[in-house]
Amino acid sequence: MTKDINQSKYHPSTVQKLEILKLYFREWLPVMLLSYCNVAVYDFFAGSGTDAKGMLGSPLLLLEEAKALLNGITSQLGGKRLHFLFNDKDETKCAQLERSVQEALRSDGTAAWSHYMNEGNYTVKSSAFRDLFFDDTVQKTLNSKDIAKFVWLDQYGVKELTPDVFHCLLRAPVTDFMFFISSSTIKRFKDEKSFKRYLATEKIHFEDSAHKECHRIIAEYYRSLVPTDVNECYIHGFTLQKGSNYYGLIFCSNHTLGMEKFLKVCWEVDDLAGESNCNINNDFLPGQLFHDPQRTARMEATRLAISQAILKGEIRTNYQGLVFAMRRGCRPAIFVEVIKKLRVAGKVFIEEGGYNERSTGIHRLNAEGKVYEIKLLCPPQE
């Protein structure tokens, strides 16, 4: 039987998972509220709202972040609507969550907070995940280009993020989503018939990888599921170790800004690789002789990959280079480091007035005339 995490104190790895959720939502919500008139937030496995010690779970954390934001930008919210949907199939948990949400709504806040959350702008449901996810109302919202969506899926185990659910979320416009998955469990049981009902296990290959890398393999599996009709998709995984087991988060966005924001959070949490709570690349740690926070294994591998791609003519503009860095799991500023060194070394040429060191707001580069071409001063490398 699956352990009910709401009935005990959260494990440190759960606390870290919730911290990543909170920090990303803090980055995401203000951008979307100021850019769209309608914003929807889904927590499909909300639980009861707290652990046994009263520590806030995902639904109450999301509400706290929304309250903090609304308290600060009241004058900019005219005509905008923010709606939360919290769900858990356990009716007892839902009843407890409803009470916790009502208590949160009565807590101190501005008129904006009271207006938004007392106008029926939240819903607590008790439904099986697939029944609710494929409900016509939810699907209409997911498919709308006029509504910004954030979807949080803190499933137990592995079975809910099936390929059809994943594809539906990928195709949803203006949607970022993040889900939890038990990667160690997949590694242990992927050949069982029951697992083949939920995962395309023939696409998952753990051979020649360390056990602590299993969540990387699962993130790569989900990358392999991205259909060809999805033009833009950014995926990043974050490994969470709990004892001898490895779980993790997988984040997906159809916009460079979403990926920028998530990588910012990940590198704040893990300044060695931006992808784990367990020193996944065996980097030297602070206090050890060869520790260098600017030359970790992930950073060095990415710098080398960017340099090689430029010198092979595969990266031809700064936009391509910045995106390349993000797809490698690094903050885009690392591309700027590399191109600067190649210019100084006389290996590339950028027309006068074109070069800039912009590494944020990548989606605005073209409109702001900040995209430049990279010209090689030597034949492309083989």
* Distance between CA atoms of residues 129 and 126, nearest Å: 9
Relative to beta strand 245-253, strand 234-242 is antiparallel
For 77, left (φ over 0), alpha (ψ -120 to 50), or beta?
A: alpha
CA atoms within 13 Å, Cβ hemisphere of 187: 21
Per-residue pLDDT of the chain (382 residues; tens, 9 = 90+): 345 555 679 999 999 999 999 999 999 999 999 899 999 999 999 999 998 888 999 999 999 999 888 877 665 666 788 899 999 999 999 999 999 888 887 776 666 666 666 656 889 999 999 999 999 999 999 999 999 999 999 998 788 999 999 999 999 999 999 999 999 999 999 888 888 889 999 999 998 899 999 999 999 999 999 999 998 999 999 999 999 999 999 999 999 999 999 999 999 999 999 999 999 999 988 888 888 889 999 999 999 999 999 999 999 999 999 999 999 999 999 999 999 999 999 999 998 889 999 999 999 999 999 999 999 998 777 7
Question: pTM to 2 decimals?
Answer: 0.93
* Distance between CA atoms of residues 149 and 132, nearest Å: 16
Express each pLDDT in 123-166 by its tens digit.
999 999 999 999 999 999 999 999 999 999 999 878 899 999 99
Domains of the chain: 5-269 (3.40.50.150), 297-376 (1.10.10)
* Distance between CA atoms of residues 336 and 318, nearest Å: 8
Give me the sheet containing 175-181, strands edge to edge: 122-125, 81-87, 38-43, 147-153, 175-181, 245-253, 234-242
